[in-house]
């Protein structure tokens, strides 16, 4: 008695076969979809800050590291619901450090839309806060006050 399926186990149904390429493609597409759905960044240019995002280690309110000699320093004042500067456009080189020095009369969070998760600096009322980040790619990036919902500066990285 000869068998046309030499690798068939005794008692296994004759219709047993390996998973199809279509099933593998569907599985790959589902996994890719799950991976992409976890991404929440908006349509901003890619180029995450090279310092730690979201309140990371590069922001320090007590003893900030000295900025590089060519750093762009932005002094931000929030008082009585107004912010200075207010929507100003600033040129910055790709790879140049950006230092934010913030004073505010109320708690706030300053957010730089640098791609990915961006950069966040927590600000406590009456306490100066300093943080820094470096833009990794060319583009225009907004720095805003979350509490006031106002754009403070637009960084044009070239």
Render pLDDT for 36-81 as a digit per residue (tens, 0 to 9).
Answer: 333 333 333 334 343 333 333 333 333 455 666 789 999 999 999 9
What's the pLDDT score for residue 10? 56
Q: Token digits for 88?
A: 């100003």
- Beta-carbon contacts of 113 under 8 Å, excluding residues fewer than 6 positions away, are 42, 44, 141, 142, 143, 144
Q: Which domain holds residue 134?
A: 72-157
Q: Tell me whether residue 82 is in a domain.
A: yes
Establish if 143 belongs to a structural domain: yes
Our measurement of the distance from residue 14's CA atom to the centroid of its chain's CA atoms, rounded to an integer in Å, reads 53
Percentage above 70 pLDDT, the chain: 57
Give the domain CATH number at 108.
Answer: 2.60.40.420
Please state the domain count of the chain: 1
Residue 57 lies in a domain: no
For the question of whether the overall pTM of this predicted structure is more than 0.75, the answer is no
SS3 138: coil
pLDDT at residue 108 tops 80: yes
Please give the mean pLDDT across all residues of the chain. 73
**Residues contacting residue 157 through CB under 8 Å, at least 6 positions apart:** 47, 92, 93, 94, 96, 135, 137, 138, 139, 140, 141
Judge whether residue 103 has pLDDT over 60. Answer: yes
């Amino acid at each position: 008695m000869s068998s046309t399926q030499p690798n068939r186990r005794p008692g296994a149904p004759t219709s047993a076969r390996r998973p199809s390429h279509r099933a593998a493609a569907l599985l790959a597409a589902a996994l890719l979809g799950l991976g992409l759905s976890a991404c929440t960044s908006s349509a901003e240019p890619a180029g995450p800050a090279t310092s730690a995002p979201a309140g990371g280690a590069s922001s320090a309110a007590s003893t900030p590291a000295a900025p590089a000699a060519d750093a762009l320093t932005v002094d931000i004042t929030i008082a009585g619901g107004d912010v200075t500067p207010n929507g100003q456009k600033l040129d910055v080189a790709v790879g140049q450090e950006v230092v934010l020095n913030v004073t505010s009369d109320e708690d706030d969070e300053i957010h730089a839309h640098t791609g990915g998760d961006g950069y966040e600096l927590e600000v406590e009322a009456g306490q100066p806060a300093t943080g820094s980040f470096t833009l990794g790619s060319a583009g225009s990036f907004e720095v805003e006050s979350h509490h006031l919902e106002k754009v403070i500066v637009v960084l044009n990285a070239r």
